[in-house]
Amino acid sequence: MLEPQKLANVIRMHRKAARLSQLQLAELAGVGKTVVFDIEKGKETIQLDTLRKILKVLNIKVQLISPLSNNPQIIEDEESKSNC
C-alpha cells in the first residue's frame, strides 16, 4: 500500500524538477492552492479526482498490480488515451 508520505515525496520531487511552485502546480491542475500543500505534507484524505489532476500535470502514471492479474495496468484518464 502506498503510504501518504511516500506519495508526498514523489509529488514534491516532480514538482521541484518541473520548477513549479505549489501555487503554480495548483493553478495548472485546477485545484485549490492548499491542496498541493496538504498533499506534500502527507495528508491522508485527498479526493481521488484531485490527486489525478495533480499527477496528470506532473506526468506521473499510476500502476496497479493485482494479485488476480498477471499484467500490471497503468491507469490513464480517457483524455490522455485520446491524445495518443
CATH topology of domain 4-78: 434 Repressor (Amino-terminal Domain) (1.10.260)
Strands (E), 1-84: 62-64, 73-75
Beta-carbon count within 10 A of 13 CB: 12
**Structure-block grid coordinates of residue 2:** 502506498
DSSP 2: -
C-alpha–C-alpha distance, residues 81 and 84, integer Å:
6
C-alpha–C-alpha distance, residues 15 and 50, integer Å:
16
Structure confidence at residue 69 as a pLDDT band (50, 70, 90): confident
Domain ranges of the chain: 4-78
Q: What is the pTM of this model?
A: 0.77
C-alpha–C-alpha distance, residues 83 and 39, integer Å:
28
> What tens digit of pLDDT does each residue of 12-37 get?
999 999 999 999 999 999 999 899 99
